[in-house]
């Protein structure tokens, strides 16, 4: 067998280098990258500011452990705290690890406030929170849980109750004296770019307040400018108590973070949680450099404009080819094409790849367009032309 465990259904394609929104494969062919490593390469490939930050740090110091002060980490945390609802951050290396930390922080808060019986979290149908055991138990997606433990008992990890997407009444009924938190993605990514219905996010916040629960948002995919705001909850005008982030946080360098308000963060005392690699100088140098660009005047507003341009163009294509695309959805540069049931999304993704455009399949027969946040008119026009061409070839 292959020496790499067969957990991924891989495309037979390897890349050698990238620049901006373009990737060059080992066979020399160039591709327009509207996958961005699944919403990770937020500033595209080989961004000069990020390359300089990484190379500069690489020559100084890579890793020292969280036994010591890490000034680059403190600096990034202070900048994020200043730009968001958060009072403090915990650093880790991935989205799943950030969600684990978020779940632990929610439980810890109640335990430290005299309610250790409050350990359960309510999650939303269609959720994706990672591939660790607890995050699988939280999301309850049978495609991901099969074979990893008793499905009817949360894989053996008790503590998650799931309610229907968009149904506030069902959510309220599911709350018990053991409930600690509500966990939700502002836009569900893996299950097919499902944005929250109007008013739902506000209802989650209001319900959490009413019952003394914490609102935990999973902004692993939606965060760091992806939806045309620094974080997607800003669209709804509410703030969470705890938030998990990762993917785009450091432009492709592995990194994740848990953000929390003070009353929660204060309960995560020394020894309560940890991560060997979390927030090391190398990751933080790149995360700070990524943030330099994201916080430039107009950068994130331009992402919102680019998202509108992309969606408008896709809507035109969908109207021309209703037998192929029946819906365009999403927020900012997190866009989904709902493909008609008789065309498997994976097949269409393959056809787009053949034409030189990289995209990502998602649940519900959706194709995700997650370009680097630096794409503008030129790259968008090129992507639209390829998608139009792929539709024409099928008609």
Ligand X SMILES: *Cc1c(COP(=O)(O)O)cnc(C)c1O
| 300 interacts with ligand X by CB under 6 A | no
Q: Which of 32, 36, 184, 220: binder of ligand X (CB under 6 A)?
A: 220
E strand or H helix that includes residue 24:
strand 22-25
CA distances for 356 relative to 11, 386, 393, angstroms: 14, 8, 14
Question: Which listed range, 161-169, 184-192, 281-289, 341-349, lies at the site for ligand X (CB under 6 A)?
Answer: 184-192
Residues 65-94: x where in contact with ligand X by CB under 6 A, - otherwise, as a string? -----------------------------x
Do the Cβ atoms of 155 and 298 come closer than 8 Å? no
Q: How far is the CB of 122 from ligand X (least distance, A)?
A: 16
Beta bridge partners of 259: 89, 243
Interactions with ligand X, residue window 233-252 (CB under 6 A):
246-247
Radius of gyration of the chain (CA): 21
Nearest of 360, 328, 327 to residue 345 by alpha carbon: 360
Q: How far is the CB of 287 from ligand X (least distance, A)?
A: 14
Kindly report the number of other CB atoms within 10 A of residue 91's CB atom.
25
Do the Cβ atoms of 201 and 186 come closer than 8 Å? yes
Separation of alpha carbons 47 and 18, rounded Å: 9
| 41 interacts with ligand X by CB under 6 A | no
Beta bridge partners of 91: 257
Q: How far is the CB of 377 from ligand X (least distance, A)?
A: 27
Kindly report the number of other CB atoms within 10 A of residue 268's CB atom.
19
Separation of alpha carbons 238 and 378, rounded Å: 34
DSSP state of 45: B
Q: How far is the CB of 140 from ligand X (least distance, A)?
A: 14
Residues 358-387: x where in contact with ligand X by CB under 6 A, - otherwise, as a string? ------------------------------
Q: Which of 41, 72, 218, 379: binder of ligand X (CB under 6 A)?
A: 218
Residues 127-166: x where in contact with ligand X by CB under 6 A, - otherwise, as a string? -xxx------------------------------------
Separation of alpha carbons 112 and 27, rounded Å: 57
Residue 57 or 191 having the CB closest to ligand X: 191
Q: How far is the CB of 8 from ligand X (least distance, A)?
A: 12
| 96 interacts with ligand X by CB under 6 A | yes
Q: Which of 185, 241, 317, 348: binder of ligand X (CB under 6 A)?
A: 185
Question: Which listed range, 8-16, 69-77, 185-193, 366-374, lies at the site for ligand X (CB under 6 A)?
Answer: 185-193
E strand or H helix that includes residue 91:
strand 88-92
Interactions with ligand X, residue window 99-118 (CB under 6 A):
99
Do the Cβ atoms of 199 and 207 come closer than 8 Å? no
Residue 95 or 192 having the CB closest to ligand X: 95
Nearest of 252, 256, 254, 255 to residue 243 by alpha carbon: 256
> What is the number of the residue whose Cβ is closest to ligand X?
95
Q: In what side-by-side order are the strands of the sheet with 214-218?
A: 88-92, 256-260, 242-245, 214-218, 179-184, 120-124, 160-163
Counting residues that bind ligand X (by CB under 6 A) gives 15
Q: How far is the CB of 245 from ligand X (least distance, A)?
A: 9
Residue 57 or 221 having the CB closest to ligand X: 221
Do the Cβ atoms of 229 and 217 come closer than 8 Å? no
Residue 72 or 190 having the CB closest to ligand X: 190
Site for ligand X, rule CB under 6 A = 94-96, 99, 128-130, 185, 189-190, 218, 220-221, 246-247
């Amino acid at each position: 067998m292959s020496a790499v465990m067969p957990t991924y259904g891989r495309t037979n394609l390897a890349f050698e280098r990238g620049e901006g929104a373009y990737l060059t494969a080992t066979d020399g062919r160039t591709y327009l990258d509207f996958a961005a490593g699944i919403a990770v390469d937020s500033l595209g490939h080989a961004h000069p500011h990020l390359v300089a930050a990484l190379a500069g740090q690489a020559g100084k110091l890579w890793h020292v452990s969280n036994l010591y002060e890490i000034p680059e980490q403190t600096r990034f945390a202070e900048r994020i705290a200043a730009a968001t609802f958060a009072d403090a951050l915990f650093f880790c290396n991935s989205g799943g690890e950030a969600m684990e930390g978020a779940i632990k922080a929610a439980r810890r808060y109640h335990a430290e406030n005299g309610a250790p019986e409050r350990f359960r979290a309510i999650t939303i149908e269609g959720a994706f929170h990672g591939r660790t055991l607890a995050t699988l138990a939280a999301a309850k997606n049978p495609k991901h849980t099969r074979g990893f433990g008793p499905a009817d008992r949360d894989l053996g990890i008790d503590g998650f109750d799931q309610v229907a997407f968009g149904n506030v009444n069902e959510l309220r009924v599911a709350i018990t004296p053991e409930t600690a938190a509500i966990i939700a993605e502002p836009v569900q990514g893996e299950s097919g770019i499902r944005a929250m219905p109007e008013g739902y996010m506000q209802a989650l916040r209001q319900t959490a307040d009413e019952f003394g629960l914490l609102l935990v948002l999973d902004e692993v995919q939606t965060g760091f400018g992806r939806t045309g705001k620094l974080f997607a909850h800003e669209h709804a005008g509410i703030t969470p108590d705890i938030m998990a982030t990762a993917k785009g946080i450091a432009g492709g360098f592995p990194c994740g973070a848990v953000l929390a308000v003070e009353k929660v963060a204060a309960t995560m005392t020394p020894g309560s949680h940890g991560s060997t690699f979390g927030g090391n100088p190398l990751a933080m140098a790149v995360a700070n450099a990524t943030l330099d660009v994201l916080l430039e005047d107009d950068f994130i507003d331009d992402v919102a404009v680019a998202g509108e341009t992309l969606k408008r163009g896709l809507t035109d294509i969908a109207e021309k080819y209703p037998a192929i695309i029946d819906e365009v959805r999403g927020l900012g540069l997190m866009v989904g094409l709902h493909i008609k049931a008789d065309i498997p999304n994976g097949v269409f993704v393959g056809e787009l790849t053949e034409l030189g455009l990289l995209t990502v399949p998602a649940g519900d027969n959706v194709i995700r367009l997650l370009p680097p946040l630096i794409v503008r008119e030129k790259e968008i026009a090129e992507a639209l032309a390829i998608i139009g061409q792929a539709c024409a070839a099928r008609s």
